Structure 1
C-alpha cells in the first residue's frame, strides 16, 4: 500500500495506529475503541464544545459522549488540562533545566519537586541527563533563586544546567490524534488556537482571576453558572472574565491521551544548531510536522529544541534522516528518549503515561529559598 503524503511537509504520513492492542501485544485486547479515539480527537479540536455538539460530530447522543469521556478519565487514559499565561504586562521566563542525580536518588528527587507548581513538565530521560524540567518564572531572579536555593540544595541533585527559551514556537496543546473526518471537523466549532508563548501587554490578574483559573484547571468544562456558584459571584461576571481571557489568548486548553495508547508511544527530544538567520524559517517548518509536540529556540549553543512523538524506537533514525534531508543547515547535536514523563502540562502521570492527579501551574514561592538568598545577600554586603 502506498503511504499518503502529509499536506504541509510533502513527507510520507505514517500509517494510523492499529489500536492499543497492537501496542500491548496480541494477547491484550484493545483498551480503547474507535469511538474513544474519535472522542479524544474531538475534544482536542474543540475542548469546550457542548456534549450535544460533540455527539453530533461523532454520530452518537450527548449522554453517550459524556459517559465515554467519564470512563476514559476515571481510568486515567485521557484528561483535560488548562493553564494560563495571564501573568501581567511582563513576559515570564520559560526555562529548560537539566538535572543530574546521584545514583539511586532520581525518583526521590522527582517526588520532592513534583508539586512545585511552576514545573510544567518533568521527564526522566535517557542519555546524558537524568531529568529535564520545563518551568515558568516571573523573572530571571526567580529562576536563579529556584536553581540555586531549591534544586541545588536538594539531597541527590549532583548538577544542573539551565537554558532559557527565547521563543516557544509551538507546544503540546496543538498536537492532535487526527482521527476525525472533514465532516466531523466541520461540525465542531474550533476554539481560538492557543498561543505558543505568553503575550505581552496583558493586565495583571486579580484575586478573582486567580480563583477562576484554579477552578478551570480542575475542570474547564464546568458551566459558567457552576463556576459562579463556587466563586460567589454572578454568572455574568464569570462570562465577562472568561470572554476577556479568551480575547487575550490568556488560557491554554489541552486534551491529552496516555502516550502508550496514542499510537505514538515514543517521545524523543532533539537538540540542534541552525544558523541564526535560518532559525525562524526552520522552526516554522518544524512546527508543521505531524510528529512535533514542542519546538523552542534556546539560549545555549544548541539553539533549537524539538520534542516529537514517534511510532517506535526504530523511527528515531528515520526521523533524523528526514530532518537531515529537509534541513541540511540544521545539525542535530544530541537526542534523548523520555523514559517516564512524570509530569505533563501540570499533571502527574504513571510510568505508562496514565493520569494520576493535577498540580495547577502557578508561580513558585518558597520561604526557605528566599531566606537562604537573603542570607547570601547579607554576606555579600558585609564583605570579608
Structure 2
C-alpha cells in the first residue's frame, strides 16, 4: 500500500543513518558516524544522496497551535468515482494544507488544513472547492489536542546505538500550553529561513538574519524548548519496510479518553494520535509491515484496551503531500494571500518601521499678529 512498489528500500547502512537523523535531525556528522558505525565521509555522502533523490527531507516544522498560526482541522471527502486524485492534487497545491492522502474506506481523500478562524474554514468548505460535482460528502474534525505527531513515530524504532540521540518521546504530552504567545518578528523570519532546510547552519542563519550565531542558537533553543519548533527528518515509511498505513477513527468512553490516547501514543505502530470533534473521539494514524500485522494489532492490541467502544478504518492508498512548513514571507513580502503569510509580513513591517516620537511639543505657540491696512 501507500505507493510501496515505487519506493526503493533502504539498505542497512541507510536505515541506521536515517534512524539516527530521525532521532536528531541536526546531529553533527561525527555524532552520526559514531552511532551508526560508519565514517563521517560515508554518512555525508549517503545523506546527500538520499536528500538529492527526495527519499529524505529534513525540515524545521513550526507547531501550528503553539506558534499561533491556526487550528489544525482534518477534512474527509467522499468523491465521485475517479475524481479523488484530482481533488487530492488540488488540495496539495494549497498553502494552508500540509497533509493529503488518498484513502479507501469511509473516505476517499483526507487532508489536514490549518485555519486561522472558523470563518476561514467556512470559506474553504463553501466556496473554495473547485467543482462541487467532485465531492459527494464531507466530514470535518477539529483537532483539540495532539498526543503524538507523525515526526515522533520513528523515535520508537531506534536501535540501542541511535537511542542516545533521541528526544523525550513524551514531549508532545508534556505540560506545555497548546497555544503560546505571539511570535516576534525575528522568530517569524527565523522560521522562514530555517523551514526548507532543517540542517541549515547557525552561521548561514546569522548571515541572513543579521544576528550573531549565539543569538540565533538562543532563539532556536527557546523555540524548541517551548515545543513551538521541531526538526523533522521525513522518509517514506515504505522505504523502512512499513507498507500498510491506516487511519483509525475511534469512539471511546470519554472518562478514559486521555488514558487511551496516551496508551496508543506509546505504541510503535502508531504515528499520530489526536483528540477531535466529530463522529469519532480520537484520530489515529498507524502503520504496519503488512495486513497480518494490522490484523494482530486490531484483534490483540486495540481490542484489549478498556474503554474503546467502536473503531472505523480507512486504508491509505497514497500519500500525496506531507508538508510541515507554513506560508510566511520572502524578502519581506508575503508568499501567498493566506492570512498566515499576510500577518507575518505585517508583523515584520511593524517591527522594522522607523520609530516616530509622538510626544506633544512643549514649545510655546507664537501669538498671531495682525497688520493694519
For the aligned pair, the TM-score class normalised by the smaller chain equals 0.7 to 0.9
Which of 54, 70, 81 aligns to 1:92? It is 70
2:308 corresponds in structure 1 to: 330
Aligned counterparts of 1:366 and 1:99: Cα–Cα separation in 2: 22
Name the counterpart of 2:107.
129
d(CA) in 2 for partners of 1:311, 1:227: 40
Structure with larger Rg = 2
How has the CA–CA distance of structure 1 residues 68 and 193 changed in structure 2, closer, same or farther, with 3 Å as cutoff? farther
* Residues 87, 205 of structure 1: 8 Å contact kept: no
Q: TM-score, normalised by structure 2?
A: 0.78
- The Cα of 1:217 is off from its aligned counterpart by 1.4
The answer on whether the counterparts of 2:149 and 2:273 sit within 8 Å (CA) in structure 1 is yes
Do structure 1's residue 299 and structure 2's residue 277 form an aligned pair? yes
- Partner Cα separation in structure 2 for residue 43 and residue 126 of structure 1: 32
Distance 2:264 2:168 in 1: 23
Separation (CA, whole Å) in 2 of partners of 1:157 and 1:231: 45
Cα distance in 1 between the residues matched to 2:263 and 2:66: 31
Q: In the alignment, which of 73, 86, 99 is matched to residue 108 of structure 1? A: 86
What corresponds to 1:205 in structure 2?
Answer: 183
- Which residue does 2:192 correspond to in 1? 214
Sort the Cα spacing of 1:194 and 1:68 in 2 relative to 1 into closer, same or farther, 3 A: farther
What is the Cα-based RMSD across aligned positions, in Å? Answer: 2.9
| Residue aligning to 1:144 | 122
Gaps of 5+ in 2: 329-335, 340-373
SS in 2 for 1:167: strand
- Partner in structure 2 of residue 6 of structure 1: none
Aligned equivalent of 1:20:
none
* Residue 195 (structure 1) aligns with: 172
Shift of 1:331: 2.6
**1:361 equivalenced with 2:338 (yes/no):** no
1:229 aligned onto 2:207: yes
CA-to-aligned-CA distance 1:215-243 (integer Å, 9 cap, x gap): 21111111111112233443343223212
What does the per-residue CA deviation read over 1:83-118, in whole Å, with 9 as the maximum and x for residues that have no partner? 212667868322110122233322222222212222
SS of the equivalent of 2:186 reads helix
Task: Supply the distance in 2 between the matched residues of 1:191 and 1:284 (Cα, whole angstroms).
Answer: 14
5+ residue gaps in structure 1?
Answer: 1-22, 347-359, 368-384
Residue 125 of structure 1: how far off its partner (Å) = 0.3
TM-score normalised according to structure 1 size = 0.76
1:35-55 Cα offsets, whole Å, 9 max, x none, are 110001101111111111111
CA contact (8 A) 1:171 1:196 kept: no
The question of 1:43 aligning with 2:21 is answered: yes
Q: Any residues of structure 2 matched to 1:177-196 within 5 Å, and which?
A: 180-186=158-164, 188=165, 190=167, 195=172
Matches within 5 A, 1:160-175: 160-175=138-153
Residue among 280, 283, 289 paired with 1:311: 289
User: 8 Å contact 1:152–1:159 — kept in the other structure?
Assistant: no
Q: Whole-Å Cα distance in 2 between the matches of residues 288 and 73 of structure 1?
A: 29
Aligned to 2:12: 34
Shift of 1:267: 0.5
Contact 2:105–2:314 (Cα < 8 Å) also in 1? yes
The answer to whether the 8 Å contact 1:79/1:256 transfers is yes
- The 3 A distance-change label for structure 1 pair 154 and 211 is farther
CA contact (8 A) 1:41 1:178 kept: no
Structure 2 vs 1, CA of residues 153 and 209 (structure 1 numbering), >3 Å: closer, same or farther?
Answer: farther
Would you say the 8 A contact 1:271–1:305 is kept in 2? Answer: yes
Q: Measured at CA, do residues 91 and 274 of structure 1 come closer, stay the same or move farther in structure 2, by a change above 3 Å? A: farther
Alignment length (residue pairs): 328
Does the CA contact (< 8 Å) of 2:100 and 2:109 recur in 1?
A: yes
Q: Does 1:321 align with 2:286?
A: no
The answer for the alignment partner of 1:258 in structure 2 is 236
Measured in 1, the distance between the counterparts of 2:138 and 2:159 equals 46
Change (3 A) 1:192 1:49: farther
CA contact (8 A) 2:36 2:161 kept: no
SS at match of 1:195: helix
The 8 Å contact of residues 65 and 71 in structure 2, kept in 1 or not, is answered as: no
The yes-or-no answer on 1:242 pairing with 2:207 is no
Is the contact between residue 270 and residue 332 of structure 1 (CA under 8 Å) also seen in structure 2?
no
Residues 247, 285 of structure 2: 8 Å contact kept: yes
